[in-house]
Structure 1
Amino acid sequence: MSEADRTELIDAYFDAMDAEDLELVRPALADDVVFESLSGPLEGFSGFETYMNELRGLSDTDHELTNLVHGDDATAVEGTVTGESDDGPVETDFCDVFEFDADDEAMTRIAVYLNDA
């Protein structure tokens, strides 16, 4: 998969997160995608859906991407996310790692790391 194709899928992912619209990201995710966050690993689109609807803890987000590093089978993305939590406004740095399936041209794994120090 080309770097441009990966970037397009990553943009779709963050657009979906910020719009809180699962249908925007569905075509970018493999059927057996694994989503890993502080909530633990979740499998398949239904797992991602559970994260978005029940576990996310942020709304009205805006992801600002500052760095993309492409490797052979994965891309790391650094940035800052702002949004609203139950406790008020949040701003934190993040690094997400995306793995891809070249045959399906979809994300097979998304690992989310936050720096809220």
Structure 2
Amino acid sequence: MAQGVCKLLWLRRLLGDLGFEPHKPMDLYCDNNVAIAIAHNFVQHDRTKHVEVDRYFIKEKLDAEIISFPFISFEYQLADVLTKAISTNVFLNSLDKLGMRDIFTPT
């Protein structure tokens, strides 16, 4: 999540340099409710000690309203088609959304 926030900050700065300054928080879609809850909750947890520095960085950007973490169901995560074993329906829907077509279809 911290790497995604870094990339969003870079993209935000690039857009600002090009004259397209974003006026609302940039969305980083996440399909993990626990990760979203940890990012929003500043209370220390025993299970999150190894990610403490990243949590402070993410929380700082959340408080400044630079980023937001809307929840998205795993069925709509387009990156999952490249990284996980998913069902046939989700696979085909993801391919359609990515603009990939059947290479075996005659043209």
Larger fraction in helix:
2
Larger fraction in strand:
1
**RCO comparison, higher one (Cα < 8 Å, 6+):** 2
Q: Does the TM-score normalized on the shorter chain lie above 0.5?
A: no
Report the TM-score when normalising by structure 1. 0.26
